[in-house]
Structure 1
Amino acid sequence: MSSTIYKLIPEDVHFMPEKANVEQVRSYLASIFPVDKISIEQSEDIQFVDQGENFDQITCPSCDTVIELKWWHQAMDNAWQSAFKDLDVQLPCCSAHNTLHGLHYDFPAGFSRLIFEIENPEEEVTAEQVRMVEQLLGCKIRMVNARY
């Protein structure tokens, strides 16, 4: 049986909120979803937050060209060597400079030190709920819809 996990991550890869803000978000999410379906992962290290089986393709944010997976895997290997502290890349399609986090992942994915996860919710996380999390944390949020 497949699992759906909504992962809410800050758009700023390095962002780490105050403990009180994290607790406010946890309380807010617990008021909407069953508590046993919510988890929070915080780390000093940046990690790739994937979309699991929902992965389709990656495109360049500058020219919309589909990025070859071979190039992306090499870029990920290079970034992994710095523990994802250096995500800067020069794109092979148009030579634009961006980051691995800034690429267009279809479905969304990204990098973060903070992940709020909601496992198998009965209803989808709404745009309004994401905006409330943004207000409570004080940062923009990216939602990663993962299926495993």
Structure 2
Amino acid sequence: MSATIFKLIPEDVHFVPDKGNVEQVRSYLVSIFPSATVSVEQTEEIQFVDQGENFVQIACPNCDAVLDLKWWHNAMDSAWQSAFKELDVQLPCCSAHSTLHGLRYDFPAGFSRLIFEIENPEEEVRTEHLRRVEQLLGCEIRMVNARY
């Protein structure tokens, strides 16, 4: 059986909130999605937060060109060598500079040290839910809609 997991991550890949803020967000998500499994993962190292089967393509945030997956895999291998501390890349399509986190993933993906997961919720995560999480955390967030 497939699982749908909404992953909420800070836009700032290095952001680490206070433990109290993390617990407030977890409690809020449990109250909004009582039948879902809500979990929090916080790590010392940055990790790639993927969209699973929802992956379609990756595009350049500067010129919108679809990026070659071999180039992306090589860039990911290089970033992995630094435990994803170095995410800067020069894009092959237009030579612009970006980060692996700043690429346009379709569906969204990203990098983070903090992940809130909502597994198999009965309803969608709405914009007002995301805005409230941002208020509680004190930072902008990105939602990764994953399917496994």
| TM-score, normalized by the shorter chain, greater than 0.5 | yes
| Partner SS, residue 29 of structure 1 | helix
- Give unpaired runs (5+ residues) of structure 1: none
- 1:55 maps to what in 2? 55
Count of paired positions: 148
Contact 2:91 2:98 in 1 (8 A): yes
Aligned mates of 1:106, 1:2 — CA distance in 2: 20
Is 1:88 equivalent to 2:83 in the alignment? no
What is the RMSD computed on CA atoms of the aligned residues? 0.8
- Provide the TM-score with structure 1 as the length reference: 0.98
> How far apart are residue 34 of structure 1 and its match?
2.3
After TM superposition, the structure 1 = structure 2 runs for residues 5-84 of structure 1, keeping only pairs within 5 Å, are 5-34=5-34, 37-84=37-84
- Provide the TM-score with structure 2 as the length reference: 0.98
| Residue type at the aligned position of 1:101 | H
- Give unpaired runs (5+ residues) of structure 2: none
Aligned mates of 1:115, 1:65 — CA distance in 2: 29
Task: Name segments (4+ residues, structure 1) moved above 3 Å.
Answer: none
Aligned mates of 1:32, 1:63 — CA distance in 2: 38
> How far apart are residue 35 of structure 1 and its match?
6.7
Aligned mates of 2:20, 2:35 — CA distance in 1: 18
| Residue type at the aligned position of 1:97 | H
* Cα deviations by residue, 1:104-125 (Å, 9 ceiling, x for unpaired): 0000000000000000000010
